[in-house]
Structure 1
Amino acid sequence: MKLLRSVLVALLVLAVLAYAGVVGYMFVNQRALQYDPAGEITELAAAGLAGAEQVEIASGDGLVTAWYQPPRPGMPMIVYYKGNSGSFTYEHERYAQFVADGYGFLAFDYRGFPTSPGAISEANILADALAAYDWVAERHPDILIWGRSLGSGPATYVASQRDARALLLETPFLSAVTVAAERYPYLPVGLVMQDQFRSNEWIAQVREPVLVAHGTADTTIGVSNGERLYALAPNPQELWIVPDAGHSDLWAAGIWDHARPFFEKALSS
């Protein structure tokens, strides 16, 4: 019995040490695991946006690189908050469509992503998001906020701090820590995660009309995240759930056809 007890104690100690090692590894490397900044840069000259210009916006102790094109007279600006992977320049097809329909846009890389040097952190991303919005607000009165995936966090935060005309959230999370807890239920992510992006708290201060778009086959951020966040919005306008759509499928599925009437309604109210 003593031998068996000793073996069980030894196994328990090893299990505890192994678990502590996993938690320690996740804590030390969490930002490398959370963010995916690597990606190719599309040059503005190759993006088919003849009226756009590349600008640099001061944020914190650095600069963020953005593309900017003003709208046609009487039309609004879209401030676009990108997702987690690569550079904002990859989504130039979206910006071209905005421009074709008369909207202006500003899109940019958070510090630490391909075109904007610096360190990635929640604090820096939120500061960059506010800096981008404020830069546009100095030039245009009517601003629409669009946040995709990771960008839904800073987009919600900015809408809680500034007066935009509308907030569109594409494949949003309830909070980043919610997604992490769903993915790693055996880890104490709520205790050790530094960049939690608590959109579920910020949304309470969002007075703008809100559209949430999500796909039922999203394996990156489960569709229930979008549904739960929408339920918390003080001014919900539309919940667009696309059957069998994955995390990166909503543009092809026609999100712009939902965005335009949503924006038009918000601007007319």
Structure 2
Amino acid sequence: MSLLFSALRFALVVYVVAAVALYVFQDRLLLPPVPSVTDIRSGHHGDYEVQAWYPSGGYSGYVVTPDGREPVGTVLVYHGNAESAENKQSLAEVFVRVGYRAVLVEYPGHGRRPGARTMRAALAASRSALSDARAQWTGPVFLAGESLGAGMAAQVVSGNESAVAGVLLITPWDSLENVASEKLRLFPVRWILHSPFDSVDALKHYVGRVVVVGCEQDTLIPVWHAERLARLHPHAQLLLLPGAGHNDWFSSMTTDRWRDVFCWLQVAPAQ
């Protein structure tokens, strides 16, 4: 009996230590170190221009602009975790081809941007990007986020509904709490998470267009999270990619699929 009691006490101590560690170190788990990437070369890239973005004096990402024509609007692109703005050049090209300026938003502690690598800092930077973009340029502003970036984009909409022309959420969660609860079933995730990052709640007052892209083979954020997010928003359109996983969705986006996305968002291509 004494041995059993000791084993139970040891298991309880381990459980409590693990729970405390999840609370204290969750930013490190959600925002792991970013692999080194090559900076996007500034200047001319065929049919577009790339420049580092310094809206308030500090580096905040990149601006990718159609070459030789005035952009018809702006798309803010929010990247996922274990990524940086440099990873999103291909996505920027999609928006530039239809005449939009793409701003590749960087979070503190990622890529070339200094600062604390925390969810709070990433969200603050994401919100600032919207206000900075609106102060710098005219025209409609759309938000596009992938994975963690989709969660950031949804939070940015909250309180800024009238400033956002449309939202594209790629491989999103419905809430971070729901995803974490699936993966950490033994722990009281609701009490451990600093914020639930609830995208459904963040979008509840938004009456603009929302497009959700879900991958049926997604093992990191299972597709039912994207389906629930789309189902609970009255204006959302859901695009499912049957053979795609979390990290290879881009290669499944055909010209026709992008055309559908732009149609649903009411993105107006440059004439």
TM-score, length-scaled by structure 1: 0.87
What does residue 9 of structure 2 align with? Answer: 13
**What is the letter of the counterpart of residue 178 of structure 2?**
T
**What is the letter of the counterpart of residue 243 of structure 1?**
P
Alignment of 1:72-83 (within 5 A): 72-73=69-70, 75-83=72-80
Mark the CA change 1:64 to 1:130 in structure 2 (over 3 Å): closer, same or farther: farther
Q: Distance in 2 between matches of 1:30 and 1:126?
A: 15
Q: Deviations over 1:17-68 (max 9, x none)?
A: 121122122223221111124122332327937522112234xxx9442111
**What is the letter of the counterpart of residue 40 of structure 1?**
S
What does residue 223 of structure 1 align with? Answer: 223
Alignment of 1:28-177 (within 5 A): 28-45=24-41, 48=45, 50-58=48-56, 63-70=58-65, 72-73=69-70, 75-138=72-135, 139-162=137-160, 163-177=163-177
Q: Deviations over 1:206-249 (max 9, x none)?
A: 2211110011111111111111111222422x101111310022
Structure 1 residue ranges without an equivalent (≥5): none
Structure 2 residue ranges without an equivalent (≥5): none
Greater displacement, 114-123 / 47-56:
47-56
Assess if the C-alpha contact under 8 Å between 1:52 and 1:67 holds in 2: yes
Mark the CA change 1:258 to 1:252 in structure 2 (over 3 Å): closer, same or farther: farther
Name the SS for the 1:210 alignment partner: strand
4+ residue segments displaced more than 4 Å: none
Name the SS for the 2:126 alignment partner: helix
Assess if the C-alpha contact under 8 Å between 2:60 and 2:106 holds in 1: yes
Q: Distance in 1 between matches of 2:268 and 2:233?
A: 15
**What is the letter of the counterpart of residue 192 of structure 1?**
I
Q: Distance in 2 between matches of 1:109 and 1:37?
A: 14
For the pair 1:200 / 2:200, whether they are aligned, the reply is: yes
Q: Distance in 1 between matches of 2:198 and 2:89?
A: 28
Q: Distance in 1 between matches of 2:267 and 2:233?
A: 17
Assess if the C-alpha contact under 8 Å between 2:200 and 2:232 holds in 1: yes
Q: CA RMSD in A?
A: 2.2
Assess if the C-alpha contact under 8 Å between 1:203 and 1:232 holds in 2: no
Name the SS for the 1:57 alignment partner: coil
Q: CA deviation at 1:70?
A: 4.3
**What is the letter of the counterpart of residue 52 of structure 1?**
V
Mark the CA change 1:227 to 1:233 in structure 2 (over 3 Å): closer, same or farther: same
Q: CA deviation at 1:135?
A: 1.5
Greater displacement, 26-35 / 144-153:
26-35
What does residue 182 of structure 2 align with? Answer: 182
Q: Distance in 2 between matches of 1:107 and 1:74?
A: 15
Mark the CA change 1:74 to 1:119 in structure 2 (over 3 Å): closer, same or farther: closer
**Number of residue pairs aligned between Structure 1 and Structure 2:** 259
Assess if the C-alpha contact under 8 Å between 1:209 and 1:266 holds in 2: no
2:263 to 256, 261, 264: 261
Q: Distance in 2 between matches of 1:233 and 1:8?
A: 51
Mark the CA change 1:89 to 1:22 in structure 2 (over 3 Å): closer, same or farther: same
Greater displacement, 74-83 / 257-266:
257-266
Q: Distance in 2 between matches of 1:137 and 1:211?
A: 22
**What is the letter of the counterpart of residue 150 of structure 1?**
L
Q: Deviations over 1:167-211 (max 9, x none)?
A: 110000111121111111111121112243121211212221111
Q: Distance in 2 between matches of 1:64 and 1:232?
A: 36
Q: Distance in 2 between matches of 1:38 and 1:155?
A: 20
Greater displacement, 249-258 / 78-87:
249-258
Name the SS for the 1:11 alignment partner: helix
